[in-house]
Structure 1
Amino acid sequence: MEHKVHVIPHTVIQQEESVKEVPKGVELIQAPKIWSETKGKGMKVAVLDTGCDVNHPDLKDRIIGGRNFTDDDRSNPEIYTDYNGHGTHVAGTIAAQENDAGVIGVAPEADLLIVKVLNRNGSGQYAWIIKGIHYAIEQNADIISMSLGGPVDVPELHAAIKTAIRKNILVVCAAGNEGDGDDSTDEFAYPGCYNEVVSIGAINLERNSSRFTNSHNEVDCVAPGEGILSTYLNGKYATLSGTSMAAPHVSGALALIKVYANQQFGRKLSEPELYAQLIRRTVPLGNSPKLEGNGLVYLTVPEHLAGIFAENVKAAVLSAT
């Protein structure tokens, strides 16, 4: 029996023809407060998902290319259209552009590389995911975002992720939606529970842990994952819930952090250093570490810490590795 990977289960709450707002999740992680410093320009985020609505007005100018590895459209590699909606929603949270309409993503000037590894049913073969990761590596992606998972630990998938990490690519994964609200039980979804990835759990907009979010010792941090408004099919918008919605908040946040940190240090930081920069921008919410890891991603750095920014990074890297 062939094992498959699927989109992390999610709930579509509602669809809308048009909106004009900064999504509440983007505001909750404090992204707008650092847009004066950077909006992610120059960062390339590979979105491994169901494809994307490439003509969506909030996304079309952010998409720089892509590849289809699925059986949709007779496996034509040049057609990475989204027929599901999941990938378009994820892409919008990462980098929907600022255009005085619709929504705006966490890193509205970052580039999107659309890597279609799940078909119209939200299902994909492990081979498709592995090929997609290697494609993202070949395209020199800065960040790989994966809101997908399966129950099986596949060594080849793990090896592909390790290769990306060695290339200093940050790999962000949704933790999974099999949680039961009890941190004494562990729920595992791969690749979200690999130690090498940045595993993201979900909270609601009131900063409470989402009942569905997986709990285990590899959760690194949490982000908004309930009632998340973003781009959807046919130029529309939708509100969805799931750890699938939490992970792209962190992918976008890392695009901002990487630009800012590289500028501050005058060099390109390694993957462990960038991970440390993410973790120092988290705030504990009082939940079990199995549910929230280091806490909520919170991008603003208090002024009283700005002067010791460089001094802290070495200690943070040591603790993260």
Structure 2
Amino acid sequence: MENFAHVIPYEVVDHVTETTEVPPGVALIQAPAIWGVTKGKGVTIAVLDTGCESSHPDLQQQIIGGRNFTDDDGSNPDIFLDYNGHGTHVAGTIAAQQNGIGVVGVAPEASLLIVKVLNRRGSGQYDWIIKGIHYAIEQKADIISMSLGGPNDLPELHAAIKKAVTNNILVVCAAGNEGDGDDSTDEFAFPGRYNEVISVGAINEKRHPTDFTNSHNEIDLVAPGEKILSTYLNGQFATLSGTSMAAPHVSGALALIKGLVNNSFGRELTEPELYAQLIKRTVSLGLSPKFEGNGLVYLTVLEHLSGIFEKESRVLVLSSQ
């Protein structure tokens, strides 16, 4: 058995020194239409990845702490810097701040807990990931975002994820990039295959499945994952492609949804209730369910601007996870 998990493979399409824009993926899922009500303030997302460039101008105000579980920097737990770029890119898609420079994330006022479980090579022992999940639970994160995976169904990893969900934490995972464009074949990566996680596939700007996205019957929904612009190393920006880039769109969307519905219902919703609220905010793209699950996350499906503050009267349908 291979003892390591890895970042979900991704392609670096382009590097950018300067930019000032709302990335197309953030706009496609309708995040800006929600910002008048919530930008994710008060919600903490634990990013289990290669660390983060905490000095990046678009991220430095968002990071509330972190921990290193890898062999980088002599395994110093207090140094969770990113030497790979993957984690910094994911963090920016989730919560890059709206400061008039660079890019803006889906939930630009959410807090980021950086949990480094993959080293500079984008590789991590399963034990690091399991410890990272337990750390996120201890720190009372609201959401765990994992754009990583491996071929092994490890009971200890599955148990850690179940514990997170039991503690009311939403766990979002990239589906994987081994797809062949054929929905009659299944491509699995763990933890994205686990029923307890929110498994995210990737579409392109034309709302078609990407050539690489995995397809199987545990896909929950899809998000933009091709040519995604976000934060990168050395204070720069980069355009990357992969389901790694799709998952953080959903993590950020959940931060916005959590702010919306908790205000509406006047209480903290449970993990199954929040999952149901996410699925209610999807639109079918007419694809096979093995490609799109419930469809594209689309935050304004239920929130019309004229009634966005009104309490929903509909009875919540609990998740069938």
Alignment partner, residue 216 of structure 1: 216
The Cα of 1:83 is off from its aligned counterpart by: 0.2
How has the CA–CA distance of structure 1 residues 149 and 266 changed in structure 2, closer, same or farther, with 3 Å as cutoff? same
State yes or no: 1:119 paired with 2:119: yes
1:151 paired residue number: 151
In structure 1, C-alpha distance between the alignment counterparts of 2:289 and 2:209, rounded to whole Å: 11
Q: How far did 1:211 drift?
A: 1.5
Q: 1:308-319 counterparts in 2 under 5 A?
A: 310-314=312-316, 316-317=317-318
- Residues 212-236 of structure 1: CA deviation (Å, up to 9, x unaligned): 1001110000000001000000100
Secondary structure of the corresponding residue to residue 93 of structure 1: helix
Q: How far 1:320 moved relative to its partner?
A: 3.2
Matched, 1:98 2:98: yes
The letter of the residue matching 2:201 is G
The equivalences for 1:287-302 within 5 A come to: 287-300=287-300, 301-302=302-303
- Which residue of the partner structure matches residue 53 of structure 1? 53
Instruction: Determine the C-alpha separation between the residues in 2 that align with 1:263 and 1:307.
Output: 9
Alpha-carbon distance between aligned partners in 1 of 2:308 and 2:21, rounded to the nearest angstrom = 30
Within 2, Cα distance between the matches of 1:145 and 1:20? 25
1:207 is aligned to 207
Q: Contact 1:204 / 1:226 at 8 angstroms: preserved in 2?
A: yes
Q: How does 1:138-287 map to 2 (within 5 A)?
A: 138-287=138-287
> Per the alignment, do residues 156 and 185 of structure 1 end up closer, same or farther by CA in structure 2, a change over 3 Å counting?
same
Write the deviation string for residues 125-162 of structure 1: whole angstroms up to 9, x where unpaired: 00000000000000000000000000000000000000
Q: What TM-score does the superposition give when structure 1 sets the normalisation length?
A: 0.97
SS in 1 for 2:64: strand
Q: Deviation per CA, 1:247-274, whole angstroms, max 9, x where unpaired?
A: 0000000000011110000000000000
Letter in 1 for 2:250: V
> Which whole-Å CA distance do the structure 2 matches of 1:298 and 1:251 have between them?
13
* Cα distance in 2 between the residues matched to 1:263 and 1:309: 9
Shift of 1:312: 2.9
Which deviations, in whole Å up to 9, do the C-alpha atoms of 1:1-39 show, x marking residues without a partner?
A: 542100000000010111000000000000000100100
3-state SS of 1:312 partner: coil
With over 3 angstroms needed to count, the CA separation of the structure-2 counterparts of 1:38 and 1:307, relative to structure 1, is closer
- State how many pairs are aligned: 319
Give yes or no for contact 1:69–1:117 (8 Å, CA) kept in 2.
Answer: yes
In structure 2, stretches of 5+ residues that fail to align are none
CA contact (8 A) 2:80 2:114 kept: yes
CA contact (8 A) 1:116 1:132 kept: yes
2:173 partner SS? strand
Q: In the aligned structure 1, how far is the partner of 2:251 from the partner of 2:88?
A: 14
In proportion to residue count, which structure has more helix? 1
Q: Which amino acid aligns with 1:217?
A: N
Q: Deviations over 1:180-228 (max 9, x none)?
A: 0000000000000100000000000111111210011100000000010
Number of the residue aligned with 1:40: 40
1:64-79 aligned at under 5 Å gives the runs 64-79=64-79
Determine helix, strand or coil for the equivalent of 2:103.
coil
C-alpha RMSD of the superposition: 1.4
- Contact residue 265 and residue 311 of structure 2 kept, 8 A: no
Contact 1:273–1:313 (8 Å) recurs in 2: no
Where 1:320 maps in the other structure, the secondary structure is coil
How far apart, CA to CA, are the structure 2 residues paired with 1:173 and 1:58? 23
CA displacement at 1:309 relative to structure 2: 6.1
Aligned to 2:30: 30
Whether the 8 Å CA contact 1:56–1:235 is kept in 2: the answer is yes
